[in-house]
Chain A
Amino acid sequence: MDATQDRSNRLSVTRAGGQLITDYWEDLFTARERGQQIVWYNGGALNPIFQAAGLAWCHGEAFAARLAAQRLEGPAQLAGAEYGYNAELCSYARTHLGCSVLTLGNQGQALQGTEGEHTGVVGINDSQQLAARLPSPDFFVNNYAGCSTGQQWDGISFRVFGKQLPIFGISHPFLWGNKPDAGYLRGEEWESASRYVAGQLRELVSFLEAQTGRPFDYDALSEAMTYIKRAAELRREGLDLCKAKPAPATFWDWIACVAPINFLPGDQGLVDYFAGVRDEIAGRLAAGVSGVRDEKYRLYFDGIMNWNKLGFLSRKFAEHGAAVLCGRYIHNAFWQEPQLIDTADPLLGMAKHYLLCPTNHGAKTLDYLTLRDCREYDVDGIVFHSTRTCRAFTGPQRLLARSAQDKLGIPSIFFEGDVADASFYKEEILESRLAAMLEAIDVRRSRGVPLAAAVS
């Protein structure tokens, strides 16, 4: 087999998702002209609440990821660097904060201003790019679970904008598991944390009523969550279909589906999109079409996406015949437990999903989830994306690698990259380590040693 041949076979339906995303952002960029208020938020998917409140919303991580995926993150990151943000800081945060700097500059508040006046790098020519098109917020809402930086990030955005704009924060207890009954979706810790966050969502509704001057439309929220729940169910059905051998679609297809499930409006269009994803996968399964031509290895991917490298990585793994099938960022995030949502009274189910952020669990629970998915998808190895500026995702990775080796006999590799800063990606390290792990899997197969036997 020619190692340079592209063996990836991505779903065609995700192109439609790409258009939905483009339309969403264009809509946001012109929201103020249509008289809409704009909220900037981070963390869990509050968009159904904003939708019901009649707001336009911007998810900070999502915008940073979009910039990185389009390789347009440079001006924002340079603006952030000039403002004083260290390159080791979460690249989502410093990209988004750089957007704040550019946005304020465009408003004439001259944090950066015109070329050469305050800065030698980012001037008006750069700031006219996408990063600077983000409309400034009317207020902030923070909904970050797990990562402590997330909450601090919005606290700093509030300061960058001169401490003039309202801000609302939702606090999420970390699901550490102090008590003997603690576990995934169970135990008093889980139940009490869920009630606590749901109570804060009710406070958020009051805050939004004060900001908009309108009573909150709970019926609209139920309607939006009905669509989102259905979309999430279709997404799970599609994910389950990918357990087949060979897999009809891969992790990279699901990465392309993150934006729709994470922040698009809850409406029929969203349901139609995920029905299309599920149907294309089912069609491939029926026709015997795989996501990687001549699938030879099945891998798990742990880490946030390296958004600069989505297409590149999908081709790279496929070149080796490696189908990356599942991962924490896909299977354990984004409305992943739709059965928890009561569409008639959705706040509690929404609160539970915010708590289920994949960085909000202690390593014990992550161990359970990772090994469960490795078994269900019958993977041969794990690839850990050691995400340079995301300490939240990388924290438990070494422990997970040990556990997978000890309990399932599954080998793993680490490679260094980042969510939105391409400078941290190390191509040669990934290539050499991936080749070595796949070779080790070959050797084990040649000896006829199945995974379970490798452990015993």
Chain B
Amino acid sequence: MPDATAPLARLGQVARDPRGYIERWRSAHPGRPVVGVLPINFPREIAYAAGTLPVVVQDDQQPVTEGRSLLAEFYCGYTRNLADQAATGRLDGYDALFLADHCIQLIGAADVVRAVLPDTPVFFGMLISSMSDTWAPGKITEMMGEFRAEFGSFTGHPVTGEALAASIRAHNRDRQLIRGLFDERSSGNAAFTPGQLQDIVGASMIMDPVEHHALLAEAVSAVRDAPRDDRVRVHLSAHLCHAPRRELLDLIEDSGVIVVDDDLFHGRRYVSTDVDETGDPIEAIARWYAQRNVNIPCPTRVQQDVDWDAYLVGAVRSSGAEAVIHLLPKFCEPHMLYYPELRKGLDAAGIPQLLLETEHEGLPAESFRTRVEALVERVRRKRPVPA
């Protein structure tokens, strides 16, 4: 039986029970606020520098009940889940909610939060998503400054440059440690399962970054290298703002696949980019936002000179993946729009691929298993036959 007190298990507990962590943090830090931040680009560094605990609000995977009467059923599962969390008291642990991303479904969910929790401030500072505009850098910096000012008003204390610099250092250090695990995986080390890596990233969205780093460092020190086995090597792609179900990750690996890289939000995408620790911290955070879309392009941004399809082909070549599995949350419009470009790009590069459309409730396990196994067979036939 696994040791529940082991560092990795503790990270998993936080990822699976954010509210439990928030309660413990509140007890240890009386009087300090906990703010919920919504995916995918909110600068957690600013909120942390203000002395708050910023928690990326997770899809808690509970069935949608009250939320059904607040958002249409053709909104994505994550946003319907958010509405449901608001309507059933599961967001009561947050003192305020902040969001920065222009996703109309996310905005719809935030509007529901504002309506059903009128005493909880919901601040929306919209980061420009048209990244190629000449005025984009200035507007991004301006908005980051507004976030800083807003947190100063919210906490009653200005957010100092020193606090920002310290927050940036703490987040960078944590990101670098996590990113190292993804780099090791894509280089051939199979020490961590996709579910474990998801828990590590998920916990980093919830915990104090200093605490997370310490716990993860302890966890990593106890793990040895594990070479890849002979399963079909796969890159998991997308699920751009919430985590796929752990059962799905297990199912994929149980179907003859080993995941060697990903660009999931609860994966490499979240930790892709560090904030420059030199110069003005607000300008550095603004550059971080822009650079994230260069390092791993996201279809929620419009940028003519970066290509998600080209990124995927490069990532596959780099990790030695033999196929790509696209994980598309049902009703995710940016992914639906970009998918044909991905398909064309991977087809042109001769990379087999499979699209799995995920839903908030229900996992068609046997259907998915059959399709993943078919992909596995297809890839195996492409492998060179030993002489």
- A336 beta carbon closer than 8 Å to chain B: no
Cβ–Cβ < 8 Å partners of A386 in chain B: 72
Say whether A14 faces chain B, with CB atoms less than 8 Å apart.
no
Q: A391's contact among B104, B126, B300, by CB below 8 Å, is which?
A: B104
Q: Is the CB of B104 within 8 A of A359?
A: yes
Whether A171 contacts B128 by the Cβ 8 Å rule is: yes
Q: Give, as a whole number of angstroms, the nearest-CB distance from A183 to chain B.
A: 15
In residues 290-304 of chain B, which contact A (Cβ within 8 Å)? 299-300, 302-304
Contact assessment for B124 and A174 in the assembled complex, using a CB-CB cutoff below 8 Å:
yes
Stretch at the interface among B19-27, B108-116, B198-206, B374-382: B108-116
**Contact of A171 with B111 at beta-carbon distance under 8 Å, contacts A90-B333, A146-B104 already known:** no
Does any Cβ of B come within 8 Å of A156's Cβ? yes
- Which of A86, A176, A398 is within 8 Å of B339, CB to CB? A86
| Bound Cα distance from A88 to B339, whole angstroms | 13
- Minimal Cβ-Cβ distance residue in B for A424: B74
CB-contacts of B48-72 with A (<8 A): 69-72
B350 within 8 A of A: no
Please tell me if the beta carbons of B343 and A391 are within 8 angstroms of each other in the complex. Answer: no
Whether A83 sits at the interface, judged by CB under 8 Å, is yes
A162-185 at interface with B (beta carbon < 8 Å): 163, 167, 169-171, 173-174, 176, 178
CA distance A154 to B74 in the complex (A): 23
Tell me, yes or no, whether B130 is within 8 Å of chain A by CB: yes
Interface code A136-176, partner B: CB below 8 Å = 1, 0 otherwise? Answer: 00000010001111011111101100010001011101101
Is A149's CB under 8 angstroms from B339's CB?
no
Which residue of the partner chain B has the closest CB to A362? B111
> Is B133 in contact with A398, judged by CB distance below 8 angstroms?
no
- In the complex, which of the residues A88, A93, A362 contacts B330, with contact meaning CB atoms closer than 8 Å? A88
Q: How far is the CA of A89 from the CA of B126 in the complex (A)?
A: 23
Q: Is the CB of B333 within 8 A of A89?
A: yes
Looking at A85, A88, A386, A398, which has the most chain B CB atoms within 10 Å of its CB? A398
A398-B71 contact, Cβ under 8 Å, with A84-B343, A169-B130: yes
Q: Check if A324 is an interface residue, CB within 8 A of chain B.
A: no
Is A396 in the interface zone, CB < 8 Å from B? yes
User: Is the pair A148, B123 in contact by a Cβ cutoff of 8 Å?
Assistant: no
Chain A residues lying within 8 Å of B69, measured Cβ to Cβ, are: 398
The docked-state distance in angstroms from the alpha carbon of A159 to that of B306 is 11
| Complex Cα gap A392–B107 (Å) | 9
Q: Is B315 on the interface with A (CB-CB < 8 A)?
A: no
**A388: CB under 8 A from chain B?**
yes
Residue B314 interfacial (CB < 8 Å): no
Closest to B305 in A: A163
Closest chain-B Cβ to A189's Cβ sits at a distance in Å of 10
The yes or no answer to A395 lying at the interface (CB within 8 A) is: yes
Structural contact, B111 and A395, CB atoms closer than 8 A: yes
Chain B residues within an 8 Å CB radius of A173: 126
Among A151, A163, A395, contact of B108 (Cβ-Cβ < 8 Å)? A395
Cβ-defined contact, B304 with A89, below 8 A:
no
A250 to B208, CA, bound (A): 58
Q: Could you say which residues of chain B place their CB within 8 Å of the CB of A148? A: 102-104, 129, 300, 333-334
**B72 x A169 contact (CB < 8 A):** no
Q: Mark B298-326, 1 if CB is under 8 A from A, else 0.
A: 01101110000000000000000000000
Task: With CB as the reference atom, state the residue of chain B lying closest to A158.
Answer: B304
Residues of B within 8 A of A158 (CB): 304
Q: Is the CB of A85 within 8 A of B124?
A: no
With A386-B72, A391-B74 given, is the CB distance from A171 to B133 under 8 Å? yes
Q: A152 vs B338: C-alpha distance in the bound complex, in angstroms?
A: 9
Q: Are A399 and B340 in contact (CB under 8 A)?
A: no
Contact between chains at B104 and A395 (CB < 8 Å): yes
Question: With an 8 A cutoff between CB atoms, is B331 at the interface?
Answer: yes
A152 close to B334 (CB less than 8 A): yes
Residues of A within 8 A of B139 (CB): 171, 196
Are B124 and A176 within 8 A (Cβ)? yes
Q: Name B75's closest neighbour in chain A (CB-CB).
A: A391
Contact across chains for B337 and A89 when beta carbons are under 8 A apart: yes
Hey, which chain A residues are within 8 Å of B328, CB to CB?
86
B111 touches A391 (CB 8 A): no
CA distance A364 to B336 in the complex (A): 30
Cβ A156 vs Cβ B133 within 8 A: no
State the Cβ distance, B172 to closest chain A Cβ, in Å.
Answer: 29
B102 engages A167 (CB within 8 Å): no
Tell me, in angstroms, the Cα distance from A395 to B128 when the chains sit together: 21
Q: 30 A-B contacts, Cβ less than 8 Å apart?
A: A84-B340, A147-B104, A148-B104, A148-B333, A148-B334, A152-B302, A156-B338, A156-B341, A167-B304, A169-B130, A169-B132, A169-B302, A170-B130, A171-B128, A171-B129, A171-B130, A174-B102, A174-B107, A178-B124, A196-B139, A362-B107, A363-B111, A386-B72, A394-B74, A394-B108, A395-B75, A395-B105, A395-B107, A399-B70, A399-B111
Binding site for B on A (CB under 8 A): 83-86, 88-90, 93, 142, 146-149, 151-156, 158-159, 163, 167, 169-171, 173-174, 176, 178, 196, 199-200, 203, 359, 362-364, 386, 388-389, 391-392, 394-399
Other A-B pairs beyond A88-B336, A399-B70, 9, CB < 8 Å: A86-B328, A148-B129, A149-B334, A151-B129, A156-B341, A171-B128, A196-B139, A397-B72, A398-B112
Please provide the 3 A-B residue pairs with the shortest distance between their CB atoms, ordered closest to farther. A395-B108, A84-B340, A155-B302
